[in-house]
Amino acid sequence: MTNAGPLSAAVIGAGAGGTLSIDALLASEDFRLVAVADMSEAALERVREKDPDIRTFTSADEMFASTPTDVVCVSTYAPTHLPLTTAALAIPGISGLLVEKPLGDTTAAGREILRLIKSAGLPVVVPHGLMAQSAALQIVQQVRDGAIGPLRVVEIECTNWDIINAGIHWLQFFISLTGADDVEFVLAAADASTRTFRDGMQVETDAITLARTASGVRLLMHTGDRVPMSRNDTVALFRIIGDNGFIEFGAYEGHYTLVTPRNDRVRVDVEPFEVSGHRRHLEFLARQIRDGSRDYSVPDSSLQALEVVEAAYESARVHGAVLLPIDGDQPRRPEDWFPGAPYSGSGGGRNGREL
């Protein structure tokens, strides 16, 4: 393997995320896609139709052994990311990785993935779409530059999706807006009446997630199968509220609305990037490989978002707030205290009027 010419690349998983990487690698002069692994023969046939020279495998281990590459894209479902990343790091001469979101099915798995990659001194990209979208990146810069004053609240409406599969993108965007401010607690409620599953995960029918950062910025995110939207032309709508105004943004739109004392609902159009989001992430990976730089800001914020996801589902299960870090001490939860029920006058507790 050599880094002098196009980097050789392999993709594990030819589903939705893997196809985005496959198409990006085929389109980029920085890469030469040489192998794809997937358990589905039908998926592999679609890959061969794109380019018959791509070697295809039904086993990632077999692909790693027979076709080692400079770059590996881990694009399977979340519970497999840790063992596949571990196996990919054993490839002689491996130079960098793409790991799809969510990094893992748990915060612990995601943390271990980043630890292994950083310990190897390798670059990694996590292809969050909003981090490769021009309008979203401009909004992050606007907020950090103080265009709406100190950030106070981010409200998100999202229909036909859930906390883990799409919400993790929105949460990573929230963390980017705050400048990676630590999230202190998460309080969530989730309904599961329809037994909905999506992308290999059990998910909510309807959920509301509240989070608060150390500096006091609050997140309020409503997700679910049929969320009533303020606008019906987007699957996710953001209201980013500061002391001096707010920004309204539909996910992946090429424009946003800015409202400040000097701007009464001004539409700001942003020139889109010329290449796909996955291609931007992968070409950023190629630059890091070639110049030796390392930028873990998006992977680190992706891990923060994953912890909020896990905390939200845990909060819904235990019917209480979850403190972060999620593996730290948590509040004791009495089993005989029911908010909204009459207080009997016995059984302990504390008088809220005396707090």
Topology (CATH) of 7-122: Rossmann fold (3.40.50)
Whole-angstrom distance, CA of residue 57 vs CA of residue 44: 8
- Backbone dihedral region of 197: left (phi > 0), alpha (psi from -120 to 50 degrees) or beta? beta
Predicted pLDDT at 211: 98
According to DSSP, residue 172 is labeled: H
Pick the CATH number of 129-329 from 3.40.190.10, 3.30.360.10, 2.60.120.260, 3.30.70.20: 3.30.360.10
In the chain, what are the domain boundaries?
A: 7-122, 129-329
Predicted pLDDT at 302: 98
Predicted pLDDT at 344: 85
Whole-angstrom distance, CA of residue 218 vs CA of residue 174: 10
Q: Decide: 200 and 78 in contact? Cβ < 8 Å.
A: yes
Q: What is the H or E stretch that residue 211 is in?
A: strand 206-213
Q: Decide: 164 and 201 in contact? Cβ < 8 Å.
A: yes
Greatest CA separation found in the chain? 77
Distance (Å) of CA 271 to CA 19, 130, 150, 164, 275: 25, 14, 26, 30, 12
Predicted pLDDT at 263: 80
Q: What is the H or E stretch that residue 258 is in?
A: strand 255-260
Distance (Å) of CA 189 to CA 49, 168, 291, 295, 316: 45, 17, 46, 35, 5
**Within its chain, how far is the Cα of 235 from the centroid?**
16
Predicted pLDDT at 347: 74
**Within its chain, how far is the Cα of 127 from the centroid?**
8
3-state secondary structure of 136: helix
Cβ-Cβ contacts under 8 Å for 324 (sequence gap 6 or more):
182, 183, 184, 185, 186, 307, 308, 311
Give the count of alpha carbons within 13 A of 331, CB side only: 14
Cβ-Cβ contacts under 8 Å for 75 (sequence gap 6 or more):
11, 12, 13, 14, 15, 17, 18, 20, 21, 98, 100
Residue 250 burial (CB count, 10 A): 19
* Residue ranges in the chain whose pLDDT is less than 70: 1-3
Predicted pLDDT at 101: 94
Predicted pLDDT at 1: 46
